[in-house]
Amino acid sequence: MSATITIRPTPVAYELRFRSLFDAGRGLSFPCDAQGHVDMDTLSDRARHNYLFARTVIGREYTCPDVQPSGAC
């Protein structure tokens, strides 16, 4: 009898992070895939509003977003 072991990689969750240009504590982050695509249908109304706002004010309020694994600093 032979046993087969299947190892599945642990899925990694990602965040799209917008860092504030003026206040390090005022950044915004949103769940995304590894390429930085945010599924807006899964966001709450408030999160969707914040996401669209952050995209609009890149360079004025927030930096260009970075994709990072969830929980990374």
- The mean pLDDT value of the chain amounts to 88
CB distance 33 to 41 below 8 Å: no
Q: What is the mean pLDDT of residues 59-73?
A: 89
**pLDDT score for 68:** 94
Structure-model confidence comparison of residues 34 and 4, the more confident one: 34
Residue range 37-62: mean pLDDT, rounded: 96
Give the number of other Cβ atoms within 10 Å of residue 46's Cβ: 8
